[in-house]
Every structure is written in C-alpha cells, then in structure tokens.
Amino acid sequence: MIALSTVGALLPSAVAVASTSYSPAADVYSQASVTAQIGASRWWDAGFTGKGVDVAVIDSGVSPVEGLDQPGKVINGPDLSFESQAPNLTHLDGYGHGTFMAGLIAGHDANLTAPYSKAPADAYRGVAPDARIVNVKAGASDGAVDVTQVIAAIDWTVAHRHDNGMNIRVLSLSYGTNSTQSATTDPLSFAVEQAWRKGIVVVASAGNTGYQRGAGAPGLASPAYNPMILAAGGYDTHGTASFSDDTVGTYSASSAGCGSRCKNPDLVAMGSHLQGLRVPGGYLDTFHPEGILGDRYFRGSGTSQAAAITAGEVALVLQKYPALTPDQVKRFLTNNGQKVPGADSQAQGGGEIALATLATKTPAAYVQNVSPATGGGSLELSRGTDHLNSDGVTLTGAQDIFGLPVDTVALAKAEASGTAWTDGDWLGRNWAGRSWAGDTWSSVAWTGRSWAGRSWADSTWSSATWTGRSWAGRSWAGQNWSGSTWSGRSWADGSWS
C-alpha cells in the first residue's frame, strides 16, 4: 500500500451535519444561493457562462456523477496517479476531492436550463456552468500524491493546452505543500509560474493554516506563495448577499509577515460550508459521513473550495474578455475587490472577488513587475513534510516515484522551453500514453520499479474491492481503504487544502 504521511482535503464544515434528506432550496449555502450571492448569476444573464473556456483541474480525479456527466463536460487528460495502473480506476475520483472542486467550477445538471439564474435550486450549477473541465488526475483514493506527480501534471497541462480544440485558460490547483525554500527556486512554484507565463491563469489555494503572523507563522502554501499566480483565500457570506456581515474563514492562511512567506493572499473567494458534488463510497464519504447531504452532495469548507470558486469566476471573465493575459486577469480581480470588514490585507489581499462590480468595469493593460523565478531548487524541500511511503520506504530526496533522479536545473530549462513532455514521456520517462483516444488521453502500463524497489506489476491496485457504493452503483475495484491503516493526520491537515 502507498500512503501519504500528511494528507489533507477540504475541511469538514462547522455546520456540516450528516443528513439523509437535503433541500437546496432551504440551504443558504447551496450553489443556487452562493452563485447568486457572489454575483455569478448577473454574468449568466448577460450571456457569460464560461462557454468556450477549459479549466484544468489537477486533483484526485473527476467521477461522472450527476452534474458532471453531460456529454463533453469532462475531458480526461493523463492519469498520473498510482491508480493509473488499474484500468477500472483510471481518471476516476475515489477520494471525493477532485469531483467536489470540478462541480463548484462547472457543474451543470441536466435540468439546469436558461436562464440559469431562474432555474430551480435543485438544479445544481457551478460558477461557470458551461465551462469544460480537463481532468488531470494526480492524487490517489486516499489523497496520496508526490510533488513530482503534481509538477508533471502542470507541465502536461502547459504542453497540451491547445490539443484537439481545447482552450485551457485556467488551471485550478487546490493543493499545497509547506515547502521550506524560496518561491524563486522551489520546483513546484517554478512549474506554476511557467504555466502562467504561457497564458494560463493559475489559481492555487492559499492553505488552511488560518491567520498567523510573526516568527514561526507558516504563511501561504506552495505554490500559492509564488508572487505571479493567484492565491485564493476563503471567506464566508453567512448566507446573505450583503458584504457587511462577511468574514474571512478561520481556516484561511495569511501571509507570515516576512521572509519567503511574505506574500498575502491575492484575494478571497467564497469557501465556507459549500454544497459540492459527492462521490458515494469514496474516501471522504466513508470516513467523513458528517459532510453528507442527502444522496448527491457533500458539504465542506476550505481554501480548496475558494480556489475552485475563483477558477469558475476567472472562466466567466475570460469568456467575456478572451484576449486578456493572466496578469490582466489578476489585476482586474484584485483592483476591483470588496474589502471584508474587520480583516487586514495580510488575510484578504485585494478582498472579495466582486463579480457585480466587475460586470461594470473594463480591464486595462497591465504587466506584473515580478522578477522571474529560476527553479533549480530542492525537490525534498518542496515536499515539506508531505511524504509518500511504500513498504516502509519513504520517498525522499531528488527522485521521482520511479526512484529515478530528477535534476531540477534541467527540469527548469525543459519547462521554460516547453519540452518537459514529449508524447507520453516526462523528462524522458514514460508516465502516460502517447495520444488522445476521443476525449481521453491514453494510458500506459508502468514498467520497472517504484522508489521502494517494488515492481509496478506486483501492485495490488486491482486485487481488492471498495466497500460502499460507487457513483455508478457498482463496487469500486482497487485497494480496500476502509479496511486499511490511515498513516497520516486528519484529512484537513495536509496537502489537499
């Protein structure tokens, strides 16, 4: 079994109480309510629904639950997770995190019909209901992922952003590590900066460490601490459309004050008590039933959600203004924000994304004055305290999941030149298939051994069975996580913020 020593996910909401009956119409935190409160419905009424904009979601996969099962809604990029070696798990989300995020961004129930702002509350909708999701799976069904898998996923997204008529303009990354090196040299930070410089708006979760200042404060997670990209903190509307009662989420990370963690969140987005799409029988569903809302939904809070909401809002802006650069998008959002009462800039940056205000504004030319990152730093420091363990062997040092050395200076050069991926090879190593098969990137059987010296062919990904129901009413095939030992801390403590 491969486990992650410190893994996390969306936070169980303070108001989350398992419920077998759930009515979105009675919930002030339903997506119907929240999209109206944040002003998304005003953009829909003006004809901007995210159509034509593709959002890459690097996460634990996306399952075709209701709301994400319409033809053409989800394009499957490569599966770079350990479950890519089990054909019945490839691309699917056994954890429940990636599906939740994808739904917040672009969920669209079959009964959600125009005008979307007038649709019934039980018609689930994301912020950009007509955007398309590009599913790039990196995390396994317990959230286990190494930073090299996430970097490889980012690099693939950059290399293939225009494949087959795709238009990947947004990358949503509800992930972060407590890297202990500068954003200038950190390999994960460098990867997202290259995506940004090549025209993709990268939205990363600020982290769930809460407001902390001074010596020892953690600051923003990596890669959100990169000065170029959008770092999203979270706030709570308290169920109203008024700004006056809004508060920054107690979970939402702030800048530390100095050193490598000086950056404030760039903005805050709604991230509290949200109604997300549920993966029945998945990890979160099994181990956190307190979040279950009826048969289809799950409630959670965190900067993961805030990043996803932000990604949806960016998709609306880019449909209206397709020629905007990432720098212009960032300036447009942060210069027109609504300040959260009682919160300082270290907690909220430019404030709440004010879609109603943005609907009346026009973006201006802008280029960020940020010194380019160099990359070339330590993979081990980039991991922070998050480490994979297999058969008692921890993945550490300058190596990937195959136990092969990674020269981060050479990696940075390849990323800058756009050559990190060639067909299905990342840095010359075969991680994925080499072509598209319809709307799915092909898979490949890994050869050789893992960092622990175990043959990939000897893995047990397809030998056991999941307990509980699956999204399609069948049994999951794969590791029986509910009967295994969870080696980490709580699900809210680590990388999936």
Q: What is the pLDDT of residue 48?
A: 98
Task: Say if residues 123 and 109 touch (Cβ distance below 8 Å).
Answer: yes
Of 209, 144, 157, 169, the residue nearest 50 (C-alpha) = 169
Residues 6+ apart with CB under 8 A from 180: 381, 384
Of 277, 306, 304, the residue nearest 123 (C-alpha) = 277
Rounded distance between C-alpha atoms, residue 467 and residue 434, angstroms: 33
The residue with tokens 């290399």 is 159
Per-residue model confidence as pLDDT tens digits over 137-157: 999 998 899 999 999 999 999
- Active-site residue 390, yes or no? no
Per-residue model confidence as pLDDT tens digits over 93-134: 999 999 999 999 999 999 999 999 999 999 999 999 999 999
Chain mean position to CA 80: 15
Which residue among the candidates 30, 84, 97, 497 is catalytic per the annotation?
97
The pair of three-digit structure tokens given for residue 401, joined into one six-digit string: 């999941």
Using 50, 70 and 90 to split pLDDT, how confident is the model at 448?
A: confident
* 321-324: long-range pairs with CB below 8 Å, 24+: 321/363, 322/52, 322/169, 324/363
CA angle 48, 55, 98 (to 5 degrees): 120
Which residue among the candidates 27, 54, 59, 246 is catalytic per the annotation?
59
Which residue among the candidates 179, 260, 304, 443 is catalytic per the annotation?
304
Q: What is the pLDDT of residue 210?
A: 87
Q: What is the pLDDT of residue 296?
A: 96
Which of the two residues, 4 and 250, has the higher pLDDT score? Answer: 250
The pair of three-digit structure tokens given for residue 205, joined into one six-digit string: 């979760």
Using 50, 70 and 90 to split pLDDT, how confident is the model at 20?
A: low
pTM: 0.91
The pair of three-digit structure tokens given for residue 31, joined into one six-digit string: 């997506």
Q: For the chain, what is the mean pLDDT? A: 87
Residues 6+ apart with CB under 8 A from 444: 424, 430, 431, 432, 433, 434
Least confident of 46-60, 281-295, 394-408: 281-295
Rounded distance between C-alpha atoms, residue 293 and residue 280, angstroms: 11
Q: What is the pLDDT of residue 52?
A: 98
- Active-site residue 288, yes or no? no
Flag whether pLDDT at 350 surpasses 70.
yes
Using 50, 70 and 90 to split pLDDT, how confident is the model at 261?
A: low
Task: Say if residues 367 and 284 touch (Cβ distance below 8 Å).
Answer: no
Flag whether pLDDT at 88 surpasses 70.
yes
Q: What is the mean predicted confidence (pLDDT) over 234-246?
A: 92
Flag whether pLDDT at 480 surpasses 50.
no
- Active-site residue 273, yes or no? no
Rounded distance between C-alpha atoms, residue 157 and residue 350, angstroms: 28
Q: What are phi and psi of 423, to 5 degrees?
A: 55, -115
108 DSSP assignment: B
Per-residue model confidence as pLDDT tens digits over 159-182: 999 998 999 999 999 999 999 899
Task: Say if residues 105 and 25 touch (Cβ distance below 8 Å).
Answer: no
Using 50, 70 and 90 to split pLDDT, how confident is the model at 258?
A: low
The identity of residue 259, as a single letter, is G
Q: What is the mean predicted confidence (pLDDT) over 237-263?
A: 84
Using 50, 70 and 90 to split pLDDT, how confident is the model at 18?
A: low
Task: Say if residues 309 and 275 touch (Cβ distance below 8 Å).
Answer: no
Q: What is the mean predicted confidence (pLDDT) over 391-399?
A: 93
Q: What is the pLDDT of residue 142?
A: 86
